Chains A and B, each alone.
Chain A
Amino acid sequence: MIETVFVESQIIDHPITERVLSRLPNADVLNINRYQEMFNKRQQNFRLQKEKPALILAKKHDNFVLPAPPGFGMGSQKNFYFSHMYNCIYDCRYCFLQGMYSSANYLLFVNFEDFFRSISETIQNNAGSSLTFFSGYDCDSLAFEKITTFAEHTLRFFKRHPEVEFELRTKSVNIKPLLDLEPISNCVVAFSLSPESVADVLDKKAPRVKRRIRAIKELTKSGWFIGLRLDPLIFCENWRGLYSELIEDIMTDLEIRNLHSVSFGPLRYPKKMYNTIAALYPEEKLFAFPMQTTGQLVSYGPEIENEMANYIQDELKKYLGTDRIFQCLI
């Protein structure tokens, strides 16, 4: 539950601000000038702040749309991402956000209209190329929907732009807002998944995997395209069995024709980020693993990464063609 909302004075009258505040009638609301006063400041403690995050409502001024890193994408010629929110209501232990920001407060940019304007410009500037826009890189796109209505706004926007593809990434099972809409053929709802026993340990505060799988099947039945994101692949005892079971559970009774794509990717961190996260959670076995450091990158190392990638790919091929299987390599 959010107890405190900090609002930049300049967007206090913005309709999204008003909507968010109306959804949080018991929260204390304090004004701030700019979110930078309090977000990601030195000496903040992410782990402690995560116990009781506040919500910050702010206006984003630039960098609305950014090119996705190389190796990230599902076949389009150009990939972009945008982040209307920093930080997530879930607390997945492997999440890079823990090492990205010193602040665990949720930062929501309410000026969705500026994001959409910038996306429109990007579409115009890249006419002739196939484009995919990703949301959910710095937050969960759907988890906060009841408060923000972000997905509703964004889906409505992309419905008007059938020439590009949009991926909404989530772990949320709050799919009612989607089921209430007609499926949009250029929009993909992508779910991040790990084997149940892995997620039970690492995906703290996130919906259980079986609920996510149920949501996936419900969405495909209603005509939505969905994506499966087995990312990051977690190495552990009996990982083969666990991932086979996960894939089988998903694929059984799934409307395969509405499965847009499956991607998988390794657990990798920039060295500095890894050290920050490992120091935050020294008791986590995930960070006690003898990881390999190559240059500035920390990973399980090529041997484990390749073994896992090959195995997952083989398992997926049992259910669908390679044209829908993608390896994410960032």
Chain B
Amino acid sequence: MNDTNQELKFFWVVALRPEANALIQKFNLKSFSNHLNFPIYINRKNGHALVISGVGSIKSAVATMYLNNTFKPGQFVAWINIGIAGHFQGPVGTLFQAIKVVNNDNGKSFFPGLRFSKLAEPAELCTVSSPENEFTLPVLYDMEAAGFCEIAPSLSCNELTFVMKIVSDTSEHSQSLVTKKMIADLFKKNSSIIDNLLQAIVKIVDRERARLEDSIEMDGIMGSLHFTETNRLRFRKIYKKWWCLFPNESLVDRAQKASSAKDLMQSMELDIASEAQSWKLK
């Protein structure tokens, strides 16, 4: 993975500028780029990156891919689509975690994210291609989530793809009453819930990162010895086993003395084999 991206953990995809502004302010994000009508904001210190997609499912999908291609993060980061949504019931201001997202155009369903039942109410969400005012179904309505869900799970995994929606309009509270200030207030009102959700999410991200990411030592060794592509894959596997058995030992000295990558891998395999007869399960 590119060194410069190591600290980015949360990748936000939002449709509207006022939604983005709330997060830009909250996470102290700075402008990173503004190409292709997809402005990107980041803060490497607290790990947030955000893209403004514009309205619509396709734009949301494209912006998600664009944000990914800009930073090429690992498969352990969290992808979050947050924004305002209509709801059949409300009340306005409630933050829901969408655990089922249906694309109203083609009927395709998505089931994003690990559920955080103690932090946010779950809901079904219907992504529509034009603003919904009827609220015929007992669900949330938005215009982006299905596009986001089409792409984001393939960049990380389904369980690290989250859709959060704050109710802005209901059959009682018309969409025409939604203003920039109201959106800012809705986000402010849910600020602590968002913080709590992020605390829960970052624990998963860190665990997945530890599982998936190459260690600095592994990276260093692969940089200092010549590995064929096949040996690189083999080394990763052997290293993970070796590290599992000898978590407090370092390979750096041995790698420096090794005549070749093959030589190093053989010595590691011998280490592992020597443990086999008295194998401990923990």
Chain B contacts of A43 at CB under 8 A?
Answer: 153-154, 157-158
Chain B residue numbers with a CB within 8 Å of A234 are: 281
CA distance in complex: A283, B244 (Å): 6
Stretch touching chain B among A48-56, A168-176, A244-252: A48-56
* A-facing residues in B224-282 (Cβ within 8 Å): 240-242, 244-245, 269, 272-273, 276, 278-282
Cβ-defined contact, B278 with A288, below 8 A: no
Q: How far is the CB of B201 from chain A (nearest CB, A)?
A: 11
Establish whether residues B279 and A236, one from each chain, have CB atoms under 8 Å apart when the complex forms.
Answer: yes
On whether the beta carbons of B273 and A30 are closer than 8 Å, the reply is no
Which of A31-39, A117-125, A210-218, A315-323 is the interface stretch?
A31-39
Of the listed residues A3, A45, A47, A287, the one surrounded by the most CB atoms of chain B closer than 10 A to its CB is A45
Q: Is the interface of A mostly helix, strand, loop or mixed?
A: loop
- Nearest CB on B from A241, distance (A): 13
A 238-281 contacts with B by CB, 8 A: 280
A19 within 8 A of B: no
- B114 CB-CB contact with A under 8 Å: yes
Whether A45 pairs with B279 at a CB distance below 8 angstroms is: no
The total of chain A residues at the interface (CB under 8 A) is: 38
Nearest residue, chain B, Cβ from A44: B158
**Is the beta-carbon distance between A51 and B111 smaller than 8 angstroms?**
no
Q: Name which of A44, A47, A234, A285 has the most chain B CB atoms within 10 A of its CB.
A: A285
B124 contacts A30, CB within 8 Å?
yes
Is B8 among interface residues, defined by CB-CB distance under 8 A?
no
Counting CB contacts under 8 A, is A163 at the interface? no
Verify if A41 is at the interface (C-beta below 8 Å from B).
Answer: yes
Q: A240 to nearest B CB, angstroms?
A: 12
Question: In chain A between 1 and 40, which residues have their CB closer than 8 angstroms to a CB of chain B?
Answer: 3-4, 6, 28, 30, 32-33, 37-38
> Is A181 part of the contact surface with B, judged by Cβ < 8 Å?
no
Closest to B116 in A: A52
The chain A residue with its CB closest to the CB of B269 is A290
Instruction: Determine the distance from Cα of A54 to Cα of B115 in the docked complex, in whole angstroms.
Output: 9
Cβ–Cβ contact B115 & A284, under 8 A: no
Q: Is the CB of A48 within 8 A of B115?
A: no
A43 and B158 CA atoms in complex are apart in Å by 6
Q: Which residue of A lies closest to B278 (CB)?
A: A237
B152 to chain A, nearest CB (A): 9
Contact B99 A285 (CB under 8 A): no
Cβ-defined contact, A285 with B280, below 8 A:
yes
Query: Could you list which residues of chain B lie within 8 angstroms of chain A, going by C-beta atoms?
Result: 99-100, 109, 111, 114-115, 117, 122, 124, 153-154, 157-160, 204, 208, 211, 240-242, 244-245, 269, 272-273, 276, 278-282
Can you identify 21 A-B contacts, CB atoms within 8 angstroms? Answer: A6-B111, A30-B100, A38-B111, A42-B154, A43-B154, A43-B158, A45-B159, A48-B157, A48-B160, A49-B159, A51-B114, A234-B281, A282-B244, A285-B245, A285-B279, A286-B281, A287-B244, A288-B242, A288-B244, A288-B245, A289-B272
